[in-house]
Amino acid sequence: MSALEVTLRALSALAAFLVLPLVVGQAEHKVMAHMQGRLGPMYAGGFHGWAQLVADGVKFAQKEDIVPRAADRGVFRLAPAVALVPYLVALAVLPVHPGVAAVDVPGSVLVVLAATAVGALGTLMAGWSSANKYSLIGGLRAAAQLVSYELPIVLAVASVAIAGGSLSLMALADAWTPWWLLWQLPGAVVFLVAGVAELQRPPFDMPIADAELVMGAWTEYTGLRFAFFLLAEYAGIVVVSVLFAVLWLGGWQGPFDDTLGWLWTLLKAFGVAIVVVWVRVSWPRLREDQLQRLAWLWLVPLGLLQLLLTGVGVVSGW
Amino acid sequence: MTGPRVPGVLKGLATTARTALRPAHTSEYPDVPPDLPPRSRGVIALLEENCTSCMLCARECPDWCIHIDSHKETVPAPAPGGRERQRNVLDRFAIDFSLCMYCGICIEVCPFDALFWSPQFEYAETDIRDLLHEKERLGGWMASVPAPPALDERAAPPAEETAASRPARGGPRGGAGRTPPARPPRTVRPRVVESEDPS
């Protein structure tokens, strides 16, 4: 791989990382607004407020960067990067087209899972270093949530890996058949629920819970660092959506997939992202104990059941 | 735990989806003018020619927000040997919209139809003192006064029209029925004329 190719791949991953979360964010603005009988942003950029998030970014960049006096400065300043960069890494290994990913590694499933798990660490660091009780409670809730929901995610993804017989996302998407829609359905539900919980998005936003914790671990953040947390949240939606589309919806499989495969992947992922937004608008926040109960009493057993089902299916050659 | 709750959860999804497919309630006000109901009370407009400076509006105003200044002018006699007349000339007519509570009593009480409701409402100011509007500004709002709403079907004719269609005083009225009216009424209102006829 020449230096030019490496640069091009890195730049394209970075471009996707900067554009796709904004697309999802704008879609969330508009979809949420219309689900609430509003219009959402209409002015920024002229056409239906398409540049609203760009304007928000400019606003965040102009704001003062404040570090509380009692904060652990180093950790406090590092936390947004820890939250943001893992999603860039995850996005780089996600395939969008037959044979097309910014970085094609053999064990890409493991890379994505490991990277997204690190992302939640940023929230914990932010909560710990802010010297604020709300931040601390938020951070600890985030840690508890991360521990609970990492397991169902791994179980669900492991099931698909067994079904496809590979740890490479590319091979798994190629091995996908429509039969998986039914066969892997419990795992898909488990992954989607646990994925939304992992992103700490409503209805699983107990660590943020703005009504009781101000803004959870993000309370003390201002300006660009706060914007990085927001960007990390939307990048997280992109990663979870693309991962779901690749593993459970067949990624690029569809008509004309040798030319339009990337479009199919992105469309399926966008549909999943809309569902994530839809769920946010429709459902109230789960209480902390309900949140843990859902993970341990429903998702983990369901994930194990799926694993069993997949094992039986693979051995008996469905 | 999820058992009985599932239908409610699905109902929530359906509700938001249905709302998303319907037109939004947002009114894009500065870009799209609002659809105001008839008889909106936006601002009070002044038709200066009709004002006789009688001060009724200023006296009836509950919070005294109408300021009127006038002086008398002598009008020369219309015919030689006649008497000179005096009439009021309006110098100042101002409404302080920082005090006005939009009750509309001044409009109701004006005997000469000099005050009107206008639906115009975009006259916000950054300084409360700038809300005292003089007669030039009040007169400018006359252009935005809507035509009076049409009468209901089979409604009685308005009092003004009845009065205008009545024959002039001093005409041949005494022998009602025996002599026809000297001239037809100015406004043709059959009902009014018939009441004078014995047939």
Phi, psi of A302 (to 5 degrees): -65, -40
How confident is the model at residue B6, as a pLDDT?
59
What is the C-alpha separation between A184 and A203, in angstroms, rounded? 24
CA distance B34 to chain A (A): 16
B24 with A281: Cβ contact below 8 A: no
- Known binding-site positions of B for [4Fe-4S] cluster: 51, 54, 57, 61, 100, 103, 106, 110
Residue B56: CATH number of its domain: 3.30.70.3270
| Beta carbons of A35 and B26 less than 8 Å apart | no
Q: Report the C-alpha gap between A149 and A129 in whole angstroms.
A: 24
pTM (predicted TM-score) = 0.76
Q: What percent of chain A has pLDDT over 70?
A: 100
pLDDT per position as a tens digit, A64-86? 888 888 888 889 989 999 988 99
Is residue B164 predicted with pLDDT exceeding 80? yes
Residue B110 belongs to a domain = yes
Predicted confidence band at B103 (pLDDT cuts at 50, 70, 90)? very high
* Contact map slice: A 286-305 vs B, CB within 8 A: 290, 293-294, 297-298
Task: Tell me the mean pLDDT in the region A137-161.
Answer: 89
Q: B119 in a domain, yes or no?
A: yes
- A93: which 2 tokens? 């290994």
Residues 1-60 of A with CB under 8 A from B: 31, 33-39, 42
Query: Which helix or strand (DSSP H or E) is residue A13 part of?
Result: helix A3-35
In a domain, residue B112? The reply is yes
- Which residues, 6+ apart, have CB-to-CB distance to B126 below 8 Å? none
Best of B16, B18, B29, B32 to substitute, by most chain A Cβ atoms within 10 angstroms, is: B16
**pLDDT of the residue at A241:** 92
Counting the structural domains of chain B, the total is 1
When pLDDT is averaged across residues B6-32 and rounded to a whole number, the result is 86
Mean pLDDT of A120-140: 87
In angstroms, the separation between the Cα of residue B26 and the nearest Cα of chain A is 5
How do beta strands B85-96 and B43-46 pair?
unpaired
pLDDT digit string (tens) for A231-264?
988 999 999 999 999 888 888 887 877 788 888 8
Tell whether A314 is within 8 A of chain B (Cβ): no
Q: Which residues of B touch A296 (CB under 8 A)?
A: none
pLDDT band at B195 (very low <50, low <70, confident <90, very high): very low
Residue B36 within a domain: no
- Of residues B178 and A133, which shows the higher confidence score? A133
Average pLDDT over residues A176-184: 84
Residue B53 lies in a domain: yes
**ipTM more than 0.90?**
no
In a domain, B97, yes or no: yes
Within 21-60 of B, beta carbons closer than 8 Å to A belong to: 22, 24-26, 28
Domain around B65 = 46-75+85-144
Evaluate whether residue B135 is within a structural domain.
Answer: yes
pLDDT at A272 over 70: yes
A31 and B15: CB-CB below 8 Å?
no
Is the N-terminal amide bond of A203 cis, ω within 30° of 0? yes
* Section B128-145 average pLDDT: 91
A47-75: average pLDDT: 88
- Low-confidence winner among A95-104, B16-25, B114-123 (lowest mean pLDDT): A95-104
Nearest to B20 among A31, A290, A294 (CB): A31
Burial class from Cβ neighbours inside 10 Å (0-12, 13-18, 19+) for residue A317 reads exposed
Per-residue pLDDT band at B147 (split at 50, 70, 90): confident
Mean pLDDT of the residues in chain A: 87
> Which comes out higher in pLDDT, residue B148 or A125?
A125
Task: Examine residue B161 and state whether it is found in any structural domain, yes or no.
Answer: no
pLDDT at B188 over 80: no
